[in-house]
Structure 1
């Protein structure tokens, strides 16, 4: 009996002091979803670019300029004199509309209305926000926004769907500079 107790104690001590081993995961992720999603997004961007470039090539009356921010623009009315451009905190007053590339109006200037916007302090979709920075008071500009600079994957939950490139005709009425430097 004494030997049995000693054998039990030795076995408990030897098996009880075993170090923890790392457990293997039940499932592994290869990252293939992310890679596949990136491929699809690149393909979407290429398709939109081709569609927009085809649209621009049909606009013989306009000279479009590619911006650093991924959209295109053309001056309908250009102010040549050296005037101010909007900067952080400035309040601008402008009118704009939104259209599909086929020219179908989504939101007219009348339905959106005249708008005051404080630069970089209020929400506005990326393309339009960056486009307004290029404008001077009195200018009319036509912008062509790929979906990723407009409403992107989510749309606007009303009339603009998923991944829709847009045309916008913008009139910048005035800039009131913020003098709180």
Structure 2
């Protein structure tokens, strides 16, 4: 008798709430504002340098600018080195810790800020990038030395670009 009854659907226990989303949005806006203010203070102290605002949500300057006019394109292999500093210019990872890196433009995964920053460089350029936390390791950090929601300063040297259509 009981086996002939149709099963009754269970109702969801969770109720949707927009308050959690609103809190998250407010937290992220405050975080970004605080990081931007910290970078502005850093830029004021470095008054001899000219920082450029990128279209990708970070600022950068050239420590050394090359006269080469070729920017990396999709599929090109880039050879570069970099160092990572915290907002107080304390070294987190040195170039020797990281080593020489190779990256195929838009074909491999690297942190968003570095991916976009490398596209702004030519061979021989040395640049300093001020990355808000959401452009690098975000709310997870790197699980080693980079903390959660930590803005970072990258000093990058572009050594070589192997063009996609060149025979090596």
TM-score for the superposition, normalised by structure 1: 0.82
Is 1:149 the equivalent of 2:135?
Answer: yes
Query: Counterparts of 1:79-158 in structure 2 under 5 Å?
Result: 79-81=66-68, 83-158=69-144
* Number of corresponding residues: 158
- 1:29-51 deviations in whole A, cap 9, x for unaligned? 33211111111111111111111
Counterpart Cα distance in 2 of 1:85 and 1:39:
37
Which runs of no fewer than 5 residues in structure 1 stay unpaired?
Answer: 1-22
- Name stretches of at least 5 consecutive residues in structure 2 with no aligned partner: 1-9
1:75-118 per-residue CA deviation (whole Å, 9 max, x = no partner) reads: 1111234x211111100100100000111100001111111111
Within the candidate set 21, 38, 53, 1:66 is matched to: 53
Match of 1:171 in 2: 157
State the shift of 1:61 in Å: 2.7
